Amino acid sequence: MSYVDNLVSMIQNIIDMLTRPDALFQEKIKSEEGLKTPFLFVAVVGIISALYGYMAGSLTSRMFAFAGAGMSEIVAVSSVVGAFIGVILFWLIGSAIFYLISMAFKGTGGFNRTLEFVGYGFIPQIFGSLVTLIMAVYYLPMVQVPVVNSFQDPGVIQNAVSHLMHDSAMMEFTKVSAVIAIIFLMWSASIWIHAIKYARNLSIKNAAITILLPVIIYIIYTLFMTFMGFSTPGGY
């Protein structure tokens, strides 16, 4: 019964976090700090992202099919691990950025509390990752992957990567996934405003500035890179 109660409680917490985060953080600030539950949310996002990373990595494996045995496994493992660790780093770095900006507003409260509350804000990212994964299942099989025959010339590899990223299905998927990421990032941002407000004891205005400043910069950068141009390492 306790597991069922916990599950019901968690679902209720999630619904509350998505619909009335201000009230929820107002209650949680009174409780003890705990990173276990936020880490769970972040980990779920990381696992879904790892699945997506595996699919994207399979494209790269096909591109380097002539590299010999073992190359596809290396690419798959690095894609999965990279996607998972990337989400964790995003959580840590994002929290640190919010923490640092809130210092300008003389915010109080520890980093762990900031990390905890920001972790709750990753709940919308779970849905966002799922939608992105569904879109990847839809789009990625349509991508025509170029095969790299020569591994001596870096220009050939760069050219192949550029061909992959300029594939029409790949470009469509990139745009769709970017818009989805932005939508759910804004949803997370709306939660993070309340999170940082209580975690750092800020006014709603200062909390909004603390969150929206880096988020808007990130969104502008993402939109620019997605719709105005795409760059691969080394340029093209």
Partner 1 sequence: MKTTSKESLSYERRFLLKISITLIIVSSMAFTALAAPTDTSGSTATSLSPAYTQVTVSDVTLDPRTFATGDEGTITVIVQNTGTQSVTIRRATLYDKDITLLSSTTYDSVGSIGAGNQMPFTFTVKADVPEGIYYPVFSLEFQDTGFLRYPVKLEVKNSPVVLSVTDKPDTFVPGKKSVVTLSLSNLRTNAIKNVIVSPNASDIEIIPQNIVINSLDPGQTVKLPFSITPKSPTDIDFEAVYLNGPNTHQVGLILPIQFNNDKTQSDPVISNIVSAPDGNHIRITGDVTNSGLQDAKSVTVASGSPAIPVDPFKVYAVGLLKPDDFSSFELTVSSESPDEVPVIVSYKDQDGNTYSRSTAADISAAKTPKSNSSLSYIPWIIVGIIAIIVVFVIGYQYTKRRKQ
Residue ranges of alpha helices (H) inside the chain are 2-19, 21-28, 36-63, 71-103, 111-120, 123-139, 154-165, 168-199, 204-223
* Choice from 6, 112, 144, 203 touching partner 1 (CB under 8 A): 144
> Contact between 135 and partner 1 (CB under 8 A)?
yes
Neighbour tally for 51: CB within 10 Å: 19
Tell me the C-alpha distance between 100 and 55, whole Å.
35
> Contact between 169 and partner 1 (CB under 8 A)?
yes
Structure tokens, 103: 């210092």
The DSSP output letter for 67 is G
How many CA atoms lie less than 13 Å away from 85 in the CB half-sphere?
6
Nearer to partner 1, 2 or 149 (CB): 149
Nearer to partner 1, 57 or 124 (CB): 124
> Contact between 12 and partner 1 (CB under 8 A)?
no
> Contact between 192 and partner 1 (CB under 8 A)?
no
- The C-alpha angle 83, 99, 196, rounded to 5 degrees, equals 95
> Contact between 184 and partner 1 (CB under 8 A)?
yes
Three-state secondary-structure class, residue 225: helix
* Choice from 71, 96, 172, 232 touching partner 1 (CB under 8 A): 172
Region near partner 1 per CB under 8 A, out of 28-36, 56-64, 130-138, 225-233:
130-138
Task: Tell me the DSSP string of 97-118.
Answer: HHHHHHHTTT--S-HHHHHHHH
> Contact between 139 and partner 1 (CB under 8 A)?
yes
> Contact between 205 and partner 1 (CB under 8 A)?
no
* Choice from 6, 9, 10, 22 touching partner 1 (CB under 8 A): 22
> Contact between 21 and partner 1 (CB under 8 A)?
yes
Write out the residues near partner 1 by the rule CB under 8 A: 18-23, 124, 131, 135, 138-139, 142, 144, 146-147, 149-150, 159, 162-163, 166-169, 172, 176, 179-180, 183-184, 186-187, 190-191, 194
